[in-house]
Amino acid sequence: MKVTIYLLLCSFMCCLGCSNSTETNLPDNNHTDTFFQPAQVLFIGNSHTNYNNGVSFHLRGFLNQADLPYTPVVEKMTMDGYTIQQHSENANTLAKMAERDWDIMVFQENTSEAANNPVDATIAIQELRFKVPNSETRLFLFMTWAYESMPGMLTTIKKTYEDTAPLVNGTIVPVGLAFQEIQNDPENLISLYDPDGIHPSLGGTFLASAMFYASIYEKDPRLNPYNADLTEEVAAYLKEKAYEVVQNYSE
């Protein structure tokens, strides 16, 4: 009887020791680093992304002033007039996508395609999304603006992006809505359009860059000194609008 009790006690102590050992080896979730660092960003689009040295160039301007704990890489793959479908079939684009484990990719559809062929645009964005090599890459969608002489285009452009975003788990950066708001602002200080009425002026590109700075990095562009050679007054106005539209759209 004493032997039986002794064996049971030893067995209990052994199990208790194993249990304690298992608990000791569990990871401490309170100290797990889950902070996402968008250190590598790739823009894919056309001349709307590429004008004025590119949205990527001016986003780097903001980031250079942001004192980040890492050095970001922000690059672009743009072809004038290209649609997302054309990018999806382009060997250079696919090679660029595979060049790094991009943290962020930004897709910018051809404005005319988004406005006039929304179903094709949605299918193309899904197809290109499927070709992103790194499953951890997060997708942002660059909602462009209506042509200056055709403001009604924005209704369909907006719908195209908003219909597509849930299908690709994408985050919309509503640059076109900011263009519209500024164009309708009686206190507007600057034209956002190039003289052709289609492409962005430097102010338009700067506005887009400020919005991506706010959206991707979740930082307030109003607190960043980067001005892209614009006057302090104009840059401050555009930063204010960029922050305002991003905040209102995400609510």
The torsion defined by the Cα of 222, 223, 229 and 231, in degrees rounded to 10, comes to: 60
Question: Which portions of the chain are predicted below pLDDT 70?
Answer: 1-34
Between vectors from CA 166 to CA 177 and to CA 116, what angle results, nearest 5°?
Answer: 55
pLDDT at 93: 98
The reported pLDDT for the residue numbered 34 is 54
Residue owning tokens 């979740």:
218
- On whether the CB atoms of residues 121 and 164 are closer than 8 A, the answer is yes
In degrees rounded to 5, what are phi and psi of residue 12?
Answer: -65, -45
Phi, psi for residue 200 in degrees, rounded to 5: -80, 145
Distance CA 114, CA 4 (A): 80
Nearest to 123 by CA among 67, 81, 164: 164
Which long-range contacts (C-beta less than 8 Å, at least 24 apart) are formed by 13-22?
none
pTM, rounded to two decimals? 0.86
pLDDT reported for residue 158 = 98
pLDDT at 251: 76
Cite the DSSP H helix spans in the chain.
2-25, 47-50, 55-64, 84-88, 91-99, 111-116, 118-130, 153-168, 175-183, 202-216, 232-250
pLDDT at position 250 is 87
Task: Give the Cα separation of 160 and 131 in Å (integer).
Answer: 20
Instruction: Determine the Cα–Cα distance for residues 107 and 125; give it in Å rounded to an integer.
Output: 8
Sign of CA dihedral 89, 109, 131, 39: positive
* Bridge pairing between strands 138-142 and 104-107: parallel
Q: What is the largest CA-CA distance in the chain?
A: 100
What confidence score (pLDDT) does residue 189 get? 76
Looking at the DSSP bridge assignments, the partners of residue 140 are 106, 171
Q: What's the CATH number for 37-250? A: 3.40.50.1110
The residue assigned the tokens 């369909």 is: 156
In this structure, what DSSP letter does residue 152 have?
A: T
For residue 74, give Cα distances in angstroms to 44, 51, 161: 11, 16, 23
